[in-house]
Amino acid sequence: MTEVLAAKAVAACRQHRLSSLVVAGGVGANRRLRERLNEAMAKIGGRVFYPELELCTDNGAMIAFCGAQRLLQGDVPASDRGAFVVRPRWPLDQLSF
């Protein structure tokens, strides 16, 4: 798993001619991934930046908490409670805020 993530991150940096990579979220706590990214980016003359380990939290927990708060406040129509559509590749131009 760490090999794939590191390879894809470095490939993206190469493709876009970037020498810096920022890693955030829960994945940033993975020590093996940090090692692989540091090694791979060093090979292309790049550098990786990470937050402190205590700041590498799981974003899923934060999103679930926000969703629970919205439900408690009645922000979601009753007909929509418990129903959702999974869209793993949702085009950014179709999002509304």
- Report residue 20: phi and psi, to 5°: -125, 140
| Backbone angle region of 28, left / alpha / beta, with phi > 0 → left and psi within -120 to 50 → alpha | alpha
Q: Who contacts 7 (Cβ-Cβ below 8 Å, separation ≥6)? A: 40
pLDDT tens, position by position, 39-94: 999 999 999 999 998 888 777 777 788 878 877 887 765 555 566 666 777 777 77
Residue 91: half-sphere exposure toward Cβ, Cα within 13 Å = 2
State the pLDDT at residue 36: 96
